[in-house]
Amino acid sequence: MLGGGQPIIVLNQNTKRECGRKVQLQNINAGKMIADVIRTCLGPRSMLKMLMDPMGGVVMTNDGNAILREITVQHPAAKHMIEIARTQDEEVGDGTSSVVILAGEMLAVAEQYLEQNMHPLVIIQAYRQALDDALEALRDTLSTPIDLNNEAHMTEVVQSCIGTKFLGQYGNLACKMALSAVRTVAVTDSATGRREIDVKKWARIEKIPGGTIEESCVLDGIMINKDVTHAKMKRRIENPRIVLLDCPLEYKKGESQTSVEMTAETDFTRLLQIEEEHVKELCADILALRPDLVITEKGVSDLAQHYLVKAGVTCLRRVKKSDNNRLARACGATICNRTEELKEEDVGTQAGLFEVKKIGDEYFSFITKCQDPKACTVLLRGPSKDILNEVERNLQDALGVARNLALEPCLVPGGGAVDMAVSHVLQQKAKQLSGVKQWPYQALAMALEVIPRTLAQNCGANIIRVLTALRAKHASGGTSFGVDGETGEVTDMAKIKIWEPLAVKEQVYKTAVETAVLLLRIDDIVSGSKKKDAGEGGAAPPPNMGGME
């Protein structure tokens, strides 16, 4: 620092620097722009976006996360907004559109205070305090506990969460599949008593074009896209004994530098004999356990197939690592890396049926009727790949909702009711604050109204009338009143059974506020890249929605 209090920043000719108010306003505009792209994707009357990638592929979806994944932006703040949708999706699997819209609105309401020269840190302190108060209100007064064994209630919740999606018309089917898959993969740790539900790892979604969506189901076991390796192997086995391997059943090939010198004509025969003996030993180790089905992640030589067919054993080869792990969990087998180490307890005996079926042009192996499968395959059927991809995205949301409920069985009313209730609580608390902090605190409370406002907007209702009626209901204590996304009218969400998991709403608020806070703290963008258009002051490039063309 010099005596005048000015920092010295050494810039080379390629470095562009922007600082102060200009950067903050640019970041706010970038956030608002991303929020505007997603705005029409909220609620049951949401519009679809058609996205085209550079390879010519087309995606049609109203899933906020899927849309933001496909578009290309250049402004760093806009990139950060896209990142929060991904975080929300990974953390709780739902609420990706809400979190972007809310973060954009929180940035927008801060703009007026920055223009009035209020320091960003004052706004940030107010936002952080408002977040703490909002989470406290959610937990203490606005959430309702739920009984996980109440099938009807659980189905209602999942249905209300996917009612806005393409899969909404097959609501019951999707809810049953999501709840069934989550119950299948749920594991309780005996030591700590914590429940572990890893849907992405243990519940694989397999899409097969053809048939109708109603034919989709959750299997009580695993399906893999493989056929038996030899035509004479059995394609149906009841109560199979299963051996899972992570090693090849073939002679190890030499590396590229291998050289073998043969001097006598019997040497070649001897080499073949050694290979044959090695493969025979491998098969003998396996056959000692009397398996009916051998599945390996590596290759199986013709000779090994011969020995296995003679013993009446069916074999599948080159199975994916992830599929093998699911198989091990479903049928109770242990994956072995060496055939010499195989023991009786490594054999899986919990599967009830192995069969190979032909669906369309491909063969699929089904290992089903497992006694207590802690892994499963969700089989999706549908008319085309595009529709199946959209159904898969919707089902992922339903699985996320079911998982959140299983981990934290609390609900809050949907349809913007809980946002309006929290907004009302924060506006009351703002009156008790002193100093300039109360203004941004109150602004954040007003920003929460963006969710019911967008819902009303998306179904063509009169926004001012709806919001005025909604505020009046909440002022008189009707905390479960929200906007019916189908009709745009103010309705009691408890009556029409629209609910959201508490975990999703908490995560939406935390992520949105933290993002707004982070972007408000930025007062300098220094870029070391060369700009084509070195305009005056070297302005940072505007948010470029290049992928939306």
The tokens for 526 are 């220094």
Same domain, 454 and 492: yes
Cα within 13 Å of Cα(191), Cβ side: 0
Give the CATH number for residue 499.
1.10.560.10
Query: Final residue of a domain: which of 408, 427, 454?
Result: 408
Q: What is the pLDDT of residue 129?
A: 93
- What phi, psi does 353 have (nearest 5°)? -155, 135
Same domain, 215 and 229: no
Is 356 part of any domain? yes
Question: How many structural domains are present in the chain?
Answer: 3
User: Three-class SS of residue 196?
Assistant: strand
Same domain, 138 and 199: no
Is 290 part of any domain? yes
**Which residues span the domain enclosing 233?**
222-252+268-372
Q: What is the pLDDT of residue 547?
A: 45
- Which among 134, 118, 105 has a CA at the least distance from the CA of 437? 118
Q: What is the pLDDT of residue 548?
A: 45
What are the per-10-residue average pLDDT scores of the chain (549 residues)? 46 56 86 89 84 81 82 86 85 84 92 88 92 91 82 76 66 82 82 76 88 87 90 90 90 73 84 87 90 91 91 92 91 89 89 89 90 89 85 82 84 88 92 88 92 89 90 88 86 84 89 91 74 48 47
CB 297 within 8 A of CB 324: yes
Is 206 part of any domain? yes
Same domain, 393 and 535: no
Give the CATH number for residue 306.
3.50.7.10
Tokens 């940035």, located at residue:
107
Same domain, 116 and 164: no
d(CA 134, CA 128): 10
Same domain, 443 and 541: yes
Cα within 13 Å of Cα(391), Cβ side: 30
Is 366 part of any domain? yes
Same domain, 244 and 327: yes
Cα within 13 Å of Cα(532), Cβ side: 1
Q: What is the pLDDT of residue 134?
A: 92
Same domain, 448 and 390: no
Query: Final residue of a domain: which of 349, 372, 395?
Result: 372
CB 26 within 8 A of CB 77: yes
Is 80 part of any domain? yes
Same domain, 203 and 295: no
Same domain, 70 and 210: no
Give the CATH number for residue 153.
3.30.260.10
Q: What is the pLDDT of residue 538?
A: 46
d(CA 161, CA 407): 17
d(CA 388, CA 381): 7
- Give the chain's end-to-end CA distance (angstroms, integer): 47
Burial of 402 (0-12, 13-18, 19+ CB in 10 A): buried
Same domain, 464 and 537: yes
The tokens for 498 are 């629209």
Q: What are the Cα distances from residue 185, in Å, to 331, 380, 445, 468?
A: 13, 18, 39, 45
Tokens 């906007």, located at residue:
483
d(CA 369, CA 220): 6
Same domain, 247 and 305: yes
